[in-house]
Amino acid sequence: MKFLARLLKIKKRKHFGTDGIRGSISKETNPEFVLKLGWAAGKVFKEQGIKALIIGKDTRISGYMLETALQSGIISAGVDVRLVGPMPTPAVSYLASSFKNQAGVVISASHNSYEDNGIKFFGDDGKKISNDLEEKIEKKLTEELDVSEAKNLGKAARLTDASGRYIEFCKSSLKRNINFNKLKIVLDVANGATYDVAPKVFKELGAEIIVLFDSPDGTNINKDCGSTNIKFLQKEVLKNKADFGIAFDGDGDRLIIVDKNAKELNGDDILYVLARDKFENQITLGSKGIVGTIMTNKGLENSLTKMGVELVRSDVGDRYVLQKLEELNWDLGGEQSGHIISLDSSNSGDAIIAAIKFLEAYICSGLSLDQLLKPFTKYPQILTNVKTKNSEKVLKNKNFQNLLRDISLNLKKYDGRINVRPSGTEPLIRIMVESKNEKETKSASKILSNFVKKLT
């Protein structure tokens, strides 16, 4: 129950969630708000010594509208703008770290449908900005917008070589002298931000590729495709007798992998393969540990322990994984959802780089994928999402808390655990139940989700 108590004490912020600002373009992320946000962020970044903000976006139709509003606000604060157009979120992170005194902004709602959009900020180190900086921006939003004098207004320009820079950066993450010329890969680019760069990266690394969902029209991003819907990818992997399928999300910071038998490999599987490669081959020396989250499967923790590798858990959100990695001075971590961070190659979660490193580990192991994953046995785990307008009210309900306590005590007999939390990006309560006993896991999940539905 400690996680629930901690959850209820989290400081509420008006606009920023676990991954920037996200919501409907007619409400939370409307143009008027985004213009003011650009001004507020510009003012705050200027105080930090930032001279320009690099703006990237995914492929949703509202991106054009919000890009214009955002750059107007930033320019009015006296800060320059650099436009890169549709680019993966990690590309903007990389570009921000490449130029001195320049930060980054991404217009994207990640895996959400096209009706939503969002804003993510990166510092000049390529990392997502801190809670403190977000709070400063929120405070600035409460002030009256004052436009800089004409002579002090920012200027806008386009970075024409951004795509090429990022492609070469991704390719440089392949550390060993190998290529992918024996691999056939199906890429699902989700009609999103990776639609142009991802196929080029894997082609240039030698793979034979088949590309799905690479015709964005502004409204089809993530629609029945991408890392949150891999059914078509699985069919195409079998149909084309491919070695792997790789699905990215709309902004390119998450991935799910499909093996030749159409079996799904999530972030836990990917982390296991990377950890085994890293520590068995002593690619880097130092402390043997990786960072997961409270959602990471207990089976991964057990398998890593047998390898002599420690798993430390953070709160959900790749920013919290990154914070924990920096705190421990480790470089590998990630989330079950497919955010994978490899600080030896990138300052943020990068789906293309994670895919490259996974394929590199697979090739260099000399094993079949089944052999490579054999020591990793997952616990039965069920994640249920329940829509709710007031997650705090549900979580504070005494009857729900009592039920949660009783079921948690019962699951302890099966090395089980429960995690209930509000989504930081959608009006949902996420209920995770896990234990060695599949029957008990299913039963507990059903009871809890049904109870929450009655409360909403």
**With 50 as the cut, is the pLDDT of residue 1 above it?**
no
Name the domain boundary from 140, 160, 180. 160
Per-residue confidence (pLDDT) for residue 12, from 0 to 100: 59
Domain region containing 35: 13-160
Per-residue confidence (pLDDT) for residue 77, from 0 to 100: 98
Distance of CA 86 to the CA centre of its chain: 17
Domain with 181 in it: what CATH number?
3.40.120.10
Kindly state whether residues 253 and 184 are assigned to the same domain: yes
Per-residue confidence (pLDDT) for residue 203, from 0 to 100: 98
Kindly state whether residues 179 and 312 are assigned to the same domain: no
Per-residue confidence (pLDDT) for residue 422, from 0 to 100: 86
Q: Which two tokens stand for residue 442?
A: 């299913």
Of 37, 248, 251, which is closest to residue 129 (Cα–Cα)? Answer: 37
Kindly state whether residues 175 and 136 are assigned to the same domain: no
Count the neighbouring beta carbons within 10 Å of the beta carbon of residue 437: 16
Strand, helix or coil at 169? helix
Summarize pLDDT for 32-68 with one digit per residue, the tens.
999 999 999 999 999 999 999 999 999 999 999 999 9
The verdict on residue 396 lying in a domain is yes
Under the banding of pLDDT at 50, 70 and 90, the label for residue 391 is: confident
Q: Quick one: three-class SS letters along 282-323? A: CCCCCCCEEEEECCCCHHHHHHHHHCCCEEEEECCCHHHHHH
Kindly state whether residues 103 and 234 are assigned to the same domain: no
The verdict on residue 2 lying in a domain is no
CA distance 242 to 180: 13
**With 60 as the cut, is the pLDDT of residue 21 above it?**
yes
Kindly state whether residues 42 and 105 are assigned to the same domain: yes
Name the domain boundary from 98, 126, 160. 160
Under the banding of pLDDT at 50, 70 and 90, the label for residue 3 is: very low
Kindly state whether residues 190 and 252 are assigned to the same domain: yes
Domain with 411 in it: what CATH number?
3.30.310.50
User: Quick check: 106 and 162 in contact, CB under 8 A?
Assistant: no
Summarize pLDDT for 148-173 with one digit per residue, the tens.
999 999 999 999 999 999 999 999 99
Kindly state whether residues 141 and 22 are assigned to the same domain: yes
The verdict on residue 8 lying in a domain is no
pTM higher than the cut 0.75: yes
Token match 């903007």: residue?
92
Q: Which two tokens stand for residue 316?
A: 């959900």
Distance of CA 100 to the CA centre of its chain: 25
The verdict on residue 1 lying in a domain is no
Per-residue confidence (pLDDT) for residue 282, from 0 to 100: 62
The verdict on residue 5 lying in a domain is no
Strand, helix or coil at 342? strand
Summarize pLDDT for 335-373 with one digit per residue, the tens.
999 999 999 999 999 999 999 999 999 999 999 999 999
CA distance 90 to 9: 31
Under the banding of pLDDT at 50, 70 and 90, the label for residue 284 is: low
Name the domain boundary from 160, 191, 208. 160
Per-residue confidence (pLDDT) for residue 393, from 0 to 100: 85
Kindly state whether residues 93 and 201 are assigned to the same domain: no
Q: Which two tokens stand for residue 210?
A: 């088949």
Under the banding of pLDDT at 50, 70 and 90, the label for residue 7 is: very low
Mean pLDDT of 225-235: 97
Per-residue confidence (pLDDT) for residue 423, from 0 to 100: 80
The verdict on residue 358 lying in a domain is no
The verdict on residue 300 lying in a domain is yes
Domain total in the chain: 4
Kindly state whether residues 49 and 132 are assigned to the same domain: yes
Per-residue confidence (pLDDT) for residue 162, from 0 to 100: 96
The verdict on residue 410 lying in a domain is yes
Mean pLDDT of 426-450: 93
Backbone angles phi and psi of 283, in degrees to 5: -60, -40
Sign of CA pseudo-dihedral 351, 354, 356, 358: negative
Of 82, 70, 65, 81, which is closest to residue 38 (Cα–Cα)? Answer: 70
Kindly state whether residues 213 and 298 are assigned to the same domain: no
CA distance 260 to 187: 13
Q: Within a 13 Å sphere around the CA of 310, how many CA atoms are in the beta-carbon half?
A: 10
Under the banding of pLDDT at 50, 70 and 90, the label for residue 70 is: very high
CA distance 128 to 140: 19
Q: What residues have CB less than 8 Å from 144, skipping those under 6 apart?
A: none
CA distance 251 to 262: 24
User: Quick check: 257 and 244 in contact, CB under 8 A?
Assistant: yes
**With 60 as the cut, is the pLDDT of residue 9 above it?**
no
Starting from the edge strand earliest in sequence, which strands make up the sheet with 184-188, in order? 208-212, 184-188, 244-248, 255-259, 264-265
Summarize pLDDT for 192-207 with one digit per residue, the tens.
999 999 999 999 999 9
Kindly state whether residues 299 and 311 are assigned to the same domain: yes
Residues with catalytic annotation? 110
Strand, helix or coil at 162? helix
Kindly state whether residues 196 and 86 are assigned to the same domain: no
Identify the burial level of 298 via C-beta atoms within 10 angstroms of its C-beta, where 0-12 means exposed, 13-18 middle and 19 or more buried: middle
